[in-house]
Structure 1
Amino acid sequence: MLCRVIISPQNIQKVRLDPIPDSVDGLKLELKSRLQLKDPFDLQYEDEDFHDFCNLTCIADLPKDKVTLKVLFTPFPDTLSESSIDNAVVRESSSPSTSSPSIRSEPSSAHSETSAARSQPWPTTFPIPVFTYDVELRLRHGNEAFRKDGTLLSIPRDMKIEILEKLAETIYSYKAYPGNEEIESVAAALIQKHPCLKEPSSTSGWYGWKISLKFKMGNYRQKLRDAGCQELKVNTEKRGLGETRGKRNKVKKPRRCETNFLPDIPQGKDRESLEKDREQIAVEVRKSTPDITFVDSAMSSTYSLRRQEIIEEEPPVSQMR
């Protein structure tokens, strides 16, 4: 079966499946492996009767020869019941404080840090994250009141700050510098999921949220910059402030194809350990049958070191061959 797989409007792949998986889960595993998809996702297929996309729940619904599939990333749950909120809070409060180090017990993983592993394209429908317990509780009651009689929620300042902070964190997991249309898609998705947050004075209902998100993203980048995020620190040269004064002609900004421009060195690693990993890669690739799994893992872990060498040292092209 020939599949046209829509990952995003800018990323459409052609995949041939032979044999066809016997279940939807099997199909998702096959696409995840073939297309290197890392985040959890659902599938939709183009229905021949309605000429529109429908959720794929049974593999028998697919045509035999050709089909168009759409990948819908679901990194966060779309709905949150009161019981699930309570269970999440109980788990959080009952977990010991010493559990934090165990969460980061694998610093060598290429995807141990969200900000250092942005590899997914901007989603077609932006996934609104789950907020803190009190915010989710207010939103649930607010949405119920809105559906009942159209009452809009009066948003306290602390609640709005929490919403903007969480949205900025989620946006940064896809892009450090989102464009105007992307910010608009986030604001629209927020209002679509939580209609009680609509603004009565706005035609779209989300214009004020769009402006607030723009400022919040700037503040969030500044916070990461102050924390030592290399990808953002390198862009402070644009203003020529402090130690960067006089270096405006060397500004480095992400290009369109660069989803991970200047990541930080993985936690638990340093330049010496990464250099040793790089030397092991050079030895491994000279073998007649190299360990591809090791090479792939080591290439991912040493990516930050190679990017920093290119950006900071600016070696000639002859040395990069």
Structure 2
Amino acid sequence: MNEVKDRGTIKVIPLTEASTPQFANSLSTSATAHVHEESSSLSSGGVDTDILSSPESSGSRSVWPSIFRVPNFCYDAELKLEHGRAAYSENGTLLTPDHKLRSNILEGLVQEIVRYKLYVTDKQFTNVGEALISKHPCLTERGSLTGYAGWKASLKNKLAIYRTQLRKLGCREVTVNSLKETPEGKPSAAFGIKKPKRSEVNYCPPYPIGETDVSLESLRVELLSDVKKRNNREVVRMKMEKTFAYRRYEVVRDTPMAQDFQTRWPALFDVNEINAEFKRITTMPLQSRFISQLDVLSDKLLKLFGKRGGQLGKRLQGILQNITQDDDVDVGRECVLKGLCVYLNEDPVNLVREFVAEDEAIFEGAIEETTVGIYVVKHDATSQPEDIGIILEGQQILRDLNNVALAAAMLFGLMYAMNLNYPPELKYTFEVLQKVVMELDGNTISKKTQALKNRLCE
């Protein structure tokens, strides 16, 4: 109930042009509502609602749009473009922009881009170029195969210059990559730019207005005692919200070990706070979306598993037998996750390891050897789990979780909260969870994951 308190849901119903006027006046939303538009055909099967953003959400940016919107430029630039459009529509004459017009267009596009991110991929630059000549065909470049190659190159250069200006102003998302900010003992920025790689919206946000390192550090120290008090969840939540940018900068800049970070921020290692942290980073709910989308895709995944032959098919059949023997929905979700690993030719033991309670020495040794994973402790091989938890870097990070699917969601959330790389032995499983299940950054995708996604769409 704490997760849904003071929250509501909204269903978005696409309307035809003929029916839009009839219902236009009947649709209204709250000013703080965050509407999640289901753009993928995979999600149309049953998830038609989403948790609304809370008023205290710290999202300073938005998710990169599927279709980039070219903004309106300054008044004189729009006048020149209007004349160019008229000439283009009359006789197909292309506009050769003068220096001022070109500069105004690039400046306007950069300001629109930074509403979403400061570090843009080549494919996203392509989206911007396509959107520009689609809205203003008169700006199509002569002699260019795409019609926007020059615009794309100029945009990359303009955004790089703009980041330099932001670095001088102290923008943390940019200064984290400067040599002066590199901590001792850490590789310099030249060895790898720290930037969003998994559709993080608030990758390294600025501090709240009026806050400094000193004031936020004092709040962190207060949290160490606040988290031990009973019935103090609301106070902890507010302070965690306020220190998000400070904590995030520490994660991105220092890349701390899991145990050290848990010592400094014990309040984060809780189911509710992992959900909240993931929402702050991506503006998307974690647990509700992960579980619901997994349920939506389960039937199609099970059919794919059943069609697989060979050795992988036999392994999948062994996993699917557990579903037929037990109608427990948690067992079904666990089997789907294990089957997904097998289908992607990865070992599910690397994701979920089961132990018998009596084998305490074996259990402790296995934890020390595990970098990333979920553990399940049972009294015997056939009994219900006594404990389910998460292991990071040889340490038990979370305990007493209700089921394996919840543990998988929390592990996925911790990957974002601590800015961790996916383990190599499970890279395709986590890629599918991110780009197919959670639908985060699904534009850049590996061939294996794309093949699975195509089969799910059949």
TM-score relative to the length of structure 1: 0.58
User: Any stretches of 5+ residues in structure 1 without a counterpart?
Assistant: 1-14, 52-64, 70-107, 112-116
Distance of aligned partners of 1:152 and 1:266 in 2 relative to their CA distance in 1, 3 Å threshold: same
Deviation at 1:297, TM superposition (A): 5.6
Deviation at 1:227, TM superposition (A): 1.8
- The one of 270, 275, 288 equivalent to 2:231 is 288
Distance of aligned partners of 1:248 and 1:149 in 2 relative to their CA distance in 1, 3 Å threshold: farther
1:191 and 2:133 equivalent? yes
| 1:154-303 map, 5 Å | 154-237=96-179, 249-251=187-189, 253-257=194-198, 258-275=200-217, 277-278=219-220, 279=222, 283=226, 286-288=229-231, 290-291=233-234, 298-303=239-244
Q: Distance in 1 between matches of 2:133 and 2:92?
A: 14
Distance of aligned partners of 1:192 and 1:282 in 2 relative to their CA distance in 1, 3 Å threshold: farther
1:153 and 2:91 equivalent? no
Q: Distance in 2 between matches of 1:123 and 1:243?
A: 31
Other-structure match for 1:90: none
Q: Is the 8 A contact 2:69 2:131 kept in 1?
A: yes
Other-structure match for 2:63: 121
| 1:1-80 map, 5 Å | 29=29, 33=33, 36-37=34-35
User: Any stretches of 5+ residues in structure 2 without a counterpart?
Assistant: 1-8, 12-21, 49-55, 263-458
Other-structure match for 1:305: 246
Matched to 2:231, the amino acid is S
Matched to 2:29, the amino acid is L
Q: Mark the structure with the bigger radius of gyration.
A: 2
Deviation at 1:161, TM superposition (A): 1.1
Q: Distance in 2 between matches of 1:163 and 1:174?
A: 18
Q: Distance in 2 between matches of 1:131 and 1:285?
A: 54
Deviation at 1:306, TM superposition (A): 0.8
Distance of aligned partners of 1:156 and 1:298 in 2 relative to their CA distance in 1, 3 Å threshold: farther
Q: Distance in 1 between matches of 2:228 and 2:101?
A: 53
Other-structure match for 1:91: none
Distance of aligned partners of 1:44 and 1:290 in 2 relative to their CA distance in 1, 3 Å threshold: closer
Q: Is the 8 A contact 1:142 1:152 kept in 2?
A: yes
- The one of 110, 123, 144 equivalent to 2:58 is 110
Q: Is the 8 A contact 1:277 1:298 kept in 2?
A: yes
Other-structure match for 1:89: none
Q: Distance in 2 between matches of 1:281 and 1:145?
A: 67
Distance of aligned partners of 1:131 and 1:254 in 2 relative to their CA distance in 1, 3 Å threshold: same
Distance of aligned partners of 1:284 and 1:44 in 2 relative to their CA distance in 1, 3 Å threshold: closer
Q: Distance in 1 between matches of 2:251 and 2:39?
A: 43
Q: Distance in 2 between matches of 1:23 and 1:297?
A: 39
Matched to 2:58, the amino acid is A
Matched to 1:160, the amino acid is R
Other-structure match for 1:132: 74
Distance of aligned partners of 1:184 and 1:277 in 2 relative to their CA distance in 1, 3 Å threshold: same
Distance of aligned partners of 1:137 and 1:285 in 2 relative to their CA distance in 1, 3 Å threshold: farther
Deviation at 1:285, TM superposition (A): 9.0
Q: Is the 8 A contact 1:230 1:263 kept in 2?
A: yes
Q: Distance in 1 between matches of 2:173 and 2:166?
A: 9
Distance of aligned partners of 1:204 and 1:127 in 2 relative to their CA distance in 1, 3 Å threshold: same
What percent of counterpart residues are identical? Answer: 33
Deviation at 1:155, TM superposition (A): 0.8
Deviation at 1:134, TM superposition (A): 1.1
Q: Is the 8 A contact 1:45 1:68 kept in 2?
A: no
Q: Distance in 1 between matches of 2:101 and 2:228?
A: 53
Q: Distance in 2 between matches of 1:143 and 1:67?
A: 44
TM-score relative to the length of structure 2: 0.42
Q: Distance in 1 between matches of 2:169 and 2:135?
A: 32
Distance of aligned partners of 1:214 and 1:24 in 2 relative to their CA distance in 1, 3 Å threshold: same
Cα displacement string for residues 150-204 of structure 1 (whole angstroms, at most 9, x for unaligned residues): 2222311011112112212221221222111110110110111111211122232
Q: Is the 8 A contact 2:141 2:150 kept in 1?
A: yes
Q: Distance in 2 between matches of 1:318 and 1:199?
A: 55
Deviation at 1:314, TM superposition (A): 5.0
Distance of aligned partners of 1:24 and 1:256 in 2 relative to their CA distance in 1, 3 Å threshold: farther
Q: CA RMSD in A?
A: 4.1
SS at match of 1:249: coil
SS at match of 1:235: coil
Q: Is the 8 A contact 1:281 1:298 kept in 2?
A: no
Q: Distance in 2 between matches of 1:201 and 1:297?
A: 56
Distance of aligned partners of 1:298 and 1:148 in 2 relative to their CA distance in 1, 3 Å threshold: farther
Deviation at 1:320, TM superposition (A): 2.5
Matched to 1:288, the amino acid is N
Q: Which one has the bigger strand percentage?
A: 1
Q: Is the 8 A contact 1:110 1:266 kept in 2?
A: no
Q: How many residues align?
A: 230
Q: Is the 8 A contact 2:227 2:236 kept in 1?
A: yes
Q: Distance in 2 between matches of 1:45 and 1:307?
A: 29
Q: Which one has the bigger helix percentage?
A: 2
Deviation at 1:127, TM superposition (A): 0.9
